[in-house]
Structure formats: C-alpha cells, structure tokens
C-alpha cells in the first residue's frame, strides 16, 4: 500500500462520483451516472471507483486513504441547537438520522463492491463545504484567493467562504440551515414546473426570455443582510419544519416539494409539468435569476471588502450558474475567477481527496520532477486546466465494436471509413459541419463534470439559424428554449465576445459582440449572450484542429457544441455513442479515427 494513493468520493448524494490521486496528481475522475446510465445517479459510486482503480493500475489494497465529502459529526452543536429551539417535525429529525446511518460504513460498501479485495487504509470524512472550497482553490491558478461555496445544503450549511494561500485553506464563515440560495432556486424551479433533480439549469435557460416583473416578490422571499449574507422568509418553504422526500439510494435522486402554499398566495398557481409555459413563467424565471444574482453579488462584495483580494474561486451547485458567473468581473470587485469543471457535488470528491492530501503534508517530490496530468505545477499544487479525466477507448475496442455491429450499421444505410491522417479527418468533419450536418464527436478521455467539452460532444454549424431547432427537435428532444454553446478557439475569443476571458469549462456566459451576433444565431441567446467554451491547442489539440479547419472553411472560429446524449447521461463508451447515433438523426459519427456516415444525404442539406 502506497501512502500517496487517495480515493476521493461523493457518495450517498446526487451526482455520485469518484476520483483517484497519486502523489497529489489527479489520475482519474468520473461520475457514477456515466456507468450506470441513470442521470444524476445517487448512492455509492462503486463503478466510478472501479474505473479509477483500473485507470491507475492499482487494486483496492493499494489505496491508503478514502476521503468522503461529508462529515455527519461536523457542526453537531448547531444541529442539536436547531432541533431543541425550532422543534421540527419528528419525521424530519428521524429521516436525517436514518440518512446519516446509511452513510456510516464506507468500509462495508467497499467490501461489498470489491469481494476478494481488502481495504486496509483510513477513511476520512471532510465537511461538505470544506470539500467544495478545496475542490476549487487547490486546482486553481491562484497562489492566493477568496474561496466561496454556495449550494443547497451539506453538513447543515448552505454556503461557506474562506481564504486559500499556497497549500493552505482556511474556512472562515458559513450560512447555516435552513437558509439557502440553492434551496430558493430549487423551490422556484419546482414552482415553474420543472420538478426533476438538477432542473435548475432550465430556469437559467428560460430566464432571458422574460422580464424581472416579480423581483419585488422575490425580495420578500430572500432578504439581504448587513454582513453580506442572506436569509429566507421561511413562510414560503417546507424543508425546515417537515420531512421533504429525498430519495438517493441506488438510482436517480428525487426531491419532494420544497415550497409551501404561501408561495402560491404570493405568485399565483404553480405550473404543472403538463401545462404550457406562459409569459408569466418566463418572467418568474427571469426574476428568480435576478434575485439570485442580487444575493450572490451582495455576498461577493462583502467578502472582497473583508479580504481585499482580487482572485475568486467558486464551487457548490450554485457555481454552475454560468449566467451569474459571467458577470463576476463586471458586477463585483473581483478581477479574476476560477471554477473547476465539476463545481457541484461531484467535484466534492476531488476536494475531499485534496484536503486529505494537503493536511497530510502534500508533495512527496519536487514539482518539477512530477508528470502532471491536470495541468501545470504551482508551488505544491496542480492547476486543473482541462477536464479530460475519464475513460477512453483504444483502437482495438472501437474496431471490435464496428466489426460486431457491421450488419446493424449497414442496415441503417451507414458506412464506416477509417481516416488516420488527422489533418484530413478534421477537414472532412469541418466540411460536413459547414454543410449543415450534425456530428457525434467521440474522442480521447471523457470529460469530468456535466459539460461536454469536445470529447463527448454533438457538433453543429453555429451560423445556421435553424440548427438550434433541429438539435432540440430531432436530436436532443428537449424544450425549445434550451440554448447551445459555442466552442471558440482561444486565440479568437476577443474578436467575438465582449470579454477576452479564459473559460475552458463552459462555466461563464458572456455577451457576444453586437456586430457578430447575426453571424452565429445558433449559439446566440435572446439577450445577445453565449455560454463560452475557450478551446486550447495545448489541452485538446484534435478538437482545436477541427475548429480551426472549420475556421479556414468558413471564417468562423467556433462550432456549436452540446453534450453527446439524448435524455440520458453523456455517453461514456463507444457502444453508447453508436447507439445514440443510430437512434437519432445525426449525420456523422466520429469514433477516434473512424468516421461513420449515413448514406443518401440529409434532410438538413436542403435547409
């Protein structure tokens, strides 16, 4: 057993995940949903662990430490005090006790998942928000920064902040249960008629289509406090006084209704899933987003006054709000921002592992003697400048798949061609995109986090005004208001966006330059913005070369990029990519060096 091998886990929660560090380097990381094929899969991430061990070439006996991003013993005085003073429904208390008991034995879970192997290391439980802070600061490019975590709830808190310096991280403050910006956003997401776990991004996508007419009502729900924090008017919520169903064991998580009848008295009748979206719902969505931003920037302003630092790192589920993130440099005093690719609870696996690594002394060898998968060494830390930490497929696996399913491919009027010359491959695919064809692009290691960043992506022409509708209707089969993102060559970001920014993980929305918007309607939101992904040759040379080939053909240095899936988790293995290609209306599938095309042209050619 090597003391340098650390397994990090987000377990018993939505977006269960695992990562593996060796000597402080991130060797592998993946979400359990990619293997189980169930969105936001919650429970114990045994398959993600299995992948991480295999990628590292080690067995469970080699793992010295398991770090989990939750500590049931943390903030115990606060928990007990709340129970005594507030006297919530006994079913709420018993439910939380049962949930903590289910989380009690990592050793037993490992034994059940890996029979015949033995784990003899230590289990470390890291407070939820400390893991979030560690997940962003310790992989950021900043020697010194304010670290902030904002989400729903974790270990009896909903937000936390502190300061990171070098290899040390200090947690200084929290917002305690039951007050939460994440709970506010989730409750209003349910109110608008999006009930599923993780649907908040739909509200963010819907918001630009409305006006903030309900902002006065939102300010009654969320109150800004003098110290920079916030508080909920709890009359509009249920989570603090009664049991709200939260199912997480071994499947897709589900959350019961968070809002109380008082919210309908304030805003009118809640929308049911099967009711049409009206302008009122768009206006509520815009108002929810505006209220979140008010509270978010209120907190950031206070933290900047306290710490007097210009660098900020963000984590927690609310750090996935790319619209607010894109305004940080314009609407807060902070000048530099970093958010890792899995800012939500999945990323807590990396944070827990890094917290244990640094608390145990960190580096065992000088930085210049280490091979760094995730980025450049930074005085005892590793900068995560890309997210390609998941499984890949070798030539043998892809060839075997195509051989085994040749009959099915031919029956679908498709044919496969291998193109070993990378320049030609990128040119062929770029020309197909320019013709209006839709491309399934499978290359290299799978991305860590919810965003497709050029290795498990569906690609299209950003210049086509009909491409958004084609993808939503024929491929993605999702709501028509949902936007798509531009993957832009880093060298050309300033030409097309108002901010010349590094956004490798698609975590910020910026305004597209007014004179450019008409040229790329498929990736331009109704408010003139776009969710930017800046693409670097150093971190993804093949994807960069593909976009550059499209630039040479069209003069536009970007492609439309959306995740390679169809109402399922993003594809992980080549077989899943082929399945998605065959059952949808994609024109071309690229599996590494193999190009599979449909015969007889495409309905989009005539568009």
Residue 601 lies in a domain: yes
- pLDDT tens across 174-233, in order? 999 999 999 999 999 999 999 999 999 999 999 999 999 999 999 999 999 999 999 999
325 and 204, same structural domain? yes
Residue 523 lies in a domain: yes
The reported pLDDT for the residue numbered 605 is 40
- pLDDT tens across 117-139, in order? 999 999 999 999 999 999 999 99
* Strand 594-598 with 414-418, pairing: antiparallel
Angle between helices 395-404 and 574-583 (to 10 degrees): 40
Residue 169 lies in a domain: no
185 and 99, same structural domain? no
Sign, CA torsion 365/370/375/376: positive
Q: Among 324, 351, 382, give the residue marking a domain's end.
A: 382
Residue 61 lies in a domain: yes
Residues in contact with 288: Cβ distance below 8 Å, sequence separation at least 6, in sequence order: 184, 185, 188, 189, 192, 203, 207, 218
304 and 223, same structural domain? yes
328 and 360, same structural domain? no
Domain of residue 110 covers: 5-125+343-382
- pLDDT tens across 564-584, in order? 999 899 999 999 999 999 999
- pLDDT tens across 18-39, in order? 999 999 999 999 999 999 999 9
Sign, CA torsion 534/538/544/548: positive
The reported pLDDT for the residue numbered 241 is 87
How many C-alpha atoms does 439 have within 13 Å on its Cβ side?
Answer: 34
222 and 200, same structural domain? yes
Lowest mean pLDDT across 215-219, 378-382, 445-449, 555-559? 378-382
The reported pLDDT for the residue numbered 367 is 41
- The answer to whether 204 and 194 have CB atoms below 8 angstroms apart is no
Give mean pLDDT, residues 304-320: 98
Choice between 248 and 108, residue whose per-residue pLDDT is larger: 108
Tokens 């057993």 appear where? 1
Helix (H) or strand (E) holding 34: helix 33-36
433 and 306, same structural domain? no
369 and 429, same structural domain? no
Here the CATH number for the domain that contains residue 318 is 3.30.420.40
The reported pLDDT for the residue numbered 472 is 80
Here the CATH number for the domain that contains residue 532 is 3.90.870.20
Residues in contact with 497: Cβ distance below 8 Å, sequence separation at least 6, in sequence order: 488, 510, 511, 512, 513, 530, 532
Residue 55 lies in a domain: yes
Angle between helices 541-554 and 422-434 (to 10 degrees): 50
pLDDT band at 601 (very low <50, low <70, confident <90, very high): very low
- How much of the chain, in percent, has pLDDT values that exceed 90? 83
Residue 99 burial class via C-beta count within 10 angstroms: exposed 0-12, middle 13-18, buried 19 and up? middle
Closest listed residue to residue 147, CA positions, set 166, 129, 164 = 164
The reported pLDDT for the residue numbered 607 is 35
- How much of the chain, in percent, has pLDDT values that exceed 70? 90
pLDDT band at 373 (very low <50, low <70, confident <90, very high): very low
13 and 76, same structural domain? yes
- pLDDT tens across 394-439, in order? 999 999 999 999 999 999 999 999 999 999 999 999 999 999 999 9
Residue 291 lies in a domain: yes
Q: Is the pLDDT of residue 372 over 50?
A: no
The reported pLDDT for the residue numbered 1 is 55
- The answer to whether 560 and 547 have CB atoms below 8 angstroms apart is no
Q: For the chain, what is the mean pLDDT? A: 91
Give mean pLDDT, residues 60-83: 85
- pLDDT tens across 227-253, in order? 999 999 999 999 998 878 776 667 888
Closest listed residue to residue 59, CA positions, set 130, 124, 117 = 117
118 and 21, same structural domain? yes
pLDDT band at 371 (very low <50, low <70, confident <90, very high): very low
Count of structural domains, the chain:
3
Choice between 542 and 607, residue whose per-residue pLDDT is larger: 542
Residue 247 lies in a domain: yes
- The answer to whether 246 and 316 have CB atoms below 8 angstroms apart is no
512 and 585, same structural domain? yes
The reported pLDDT for the residue numbered 165 is 96
Residue 6 CA to residue 333 CA, distance in Å, equals 37
Q: Is the pLDDT of residue 276 over 50?
A: yes
The reported pLDDT for the residue numbered 382 is 87
The reported pLDDT for the residue numbered 217 is 98
Strands (E), 461-505: 485-489
pLDDT band at 95 (very low <50, low <70, confident <90, very high): low
Residue 433 lies in a domain: yes
Closest listed residue to residue 28, CA positions, set 540, 373, 360 = 373
Give mean pLDDT, residues 290-301: 98
Q: Could you give the residue ranges of the DSSP H alpha helices within 45-174? A: 46-56, 76-86, 90-102, 106-113, 128-137
pLDDT band at 369 (very low <50, low <70, confident <90, very high): very low
Give mean pLDDT, residues 388-398: 97
209 and 89, same structural domain? no
585 and 454, same structural domain? yes
């Amino acid at each position: 057993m090597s003391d340098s091998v650390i397994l990090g886990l987000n377990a018993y929660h939505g977006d269960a995940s695992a990562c593996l560090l060796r000597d402080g380097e991130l060797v592998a990381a993946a979400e359990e949903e990619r293997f189980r094929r169930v969105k936001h899969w919650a429970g114990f991430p045994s398959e993600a662990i299995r992948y991480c061990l295999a990628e590292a070439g080690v067995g469970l006996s080699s793992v010295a430490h398991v770090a989990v991003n939750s500590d049931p013993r943390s903030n115990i005085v606060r928990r007990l005090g709340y129970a005594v003073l507030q006297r919530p429904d006994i079913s709420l208390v018993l439910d939380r006790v049962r949930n903590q008991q289910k989380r009690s034995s990592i050793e037993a879970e490992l034994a059940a998942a890996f029979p015949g192997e033995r784990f003899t290391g230590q289990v470390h439980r890291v407070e939820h928000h400390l893991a979030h802070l560690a997940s962003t600061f310790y992989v950021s490019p900043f020697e010194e920064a304010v670290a902030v975590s904002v989400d729903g709830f974790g270990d009896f808190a909903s937000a936390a902040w502190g300061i990171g310096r070098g290899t040390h991280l200090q947690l200084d403050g929290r917002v305690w249960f039951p007050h939460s910006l994440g709970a506010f956003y989730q409750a209003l997401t349910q109110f608008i008629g999006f009930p599923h776990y993780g649907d908040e991004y739909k509200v963010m996508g819907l918001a630009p289509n409305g006006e903030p007419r309900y902002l006065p009502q939102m300010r009654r729900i969320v109150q800004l406090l003098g110290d920079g924090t916030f508080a909920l008017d709890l009359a509009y919520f249920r989570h603090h006084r009664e049991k709200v169903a939260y199912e997480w064991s071994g499947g897709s998580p589900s959350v019961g209704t968070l809002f109380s009848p008082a919210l309908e008295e304030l805003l009118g009748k809640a929308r049911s899933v099967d009711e049409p979206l009206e302008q009122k719902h768009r206006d509520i969505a815009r108002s929810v987003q505006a209220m979140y931003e008010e509270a978010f920037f209120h907190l950031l302003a206070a933290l900047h006054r306290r710490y007097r630092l210009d660098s900020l790192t963000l984590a927690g589920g609310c750090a996935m709000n790319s619209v607010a993130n894109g305004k940080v440099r314009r609407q807060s005093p902070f000048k530099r921002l970093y958010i890792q690719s899995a800012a939500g609870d999945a990323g807590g696996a990396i944070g827990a592992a890094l917290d244990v690594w640094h608390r145990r002394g960190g580096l065992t060898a000088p930085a210049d003697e280490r091979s760094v998968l995730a980025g450049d060494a930074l005085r005892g830390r590793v900068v995560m400048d890309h997210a390609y930490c998941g499984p890949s497929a070798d030539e043998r696996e892809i060839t075997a798949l195509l051989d085994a399913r040749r009959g099915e491919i031919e029956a679908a009027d498709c044919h496969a061609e291998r193109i070993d010359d990378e320049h030609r491959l990128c040119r062929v695919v770029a020309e197909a995109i320019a013709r209006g064809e839709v491309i399934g692009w499978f290359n290299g290691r799978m991305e860590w986090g919810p965003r497709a960043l050029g290795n498990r992506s569906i690609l299209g022409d950003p210049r086509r005004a009909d491409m958004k509708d084609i993808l939503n209707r024929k491929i993605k089969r999702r709501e028509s208001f949902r936007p798509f993102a531009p993957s832009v060559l880093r060298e050309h970001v300033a030409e097309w966006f108002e901010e010349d920014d590094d956004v490798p993980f698609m975590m910020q929305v910026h305004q597209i330059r007014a004179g450019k918007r008409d040229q790329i309607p498929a990736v331009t939101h109704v408010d003139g913005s776009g969710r930017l992904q800046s693409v670097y040759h150093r971190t993804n040379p093949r994807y960069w070369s593909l976009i550059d080939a499209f630039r040479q053909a069209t003069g536009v240095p970007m492609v439309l990029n959306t995740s390679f899936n169809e109402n399922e988790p993003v594809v992980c293995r080549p077989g899943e990519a082929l399945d998605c290609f065959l059952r949808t209306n994609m024109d071309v599938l690229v599996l590494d060096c193999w190009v599979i095309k449909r015969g007889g042209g495409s309905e989009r050619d005539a568009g």
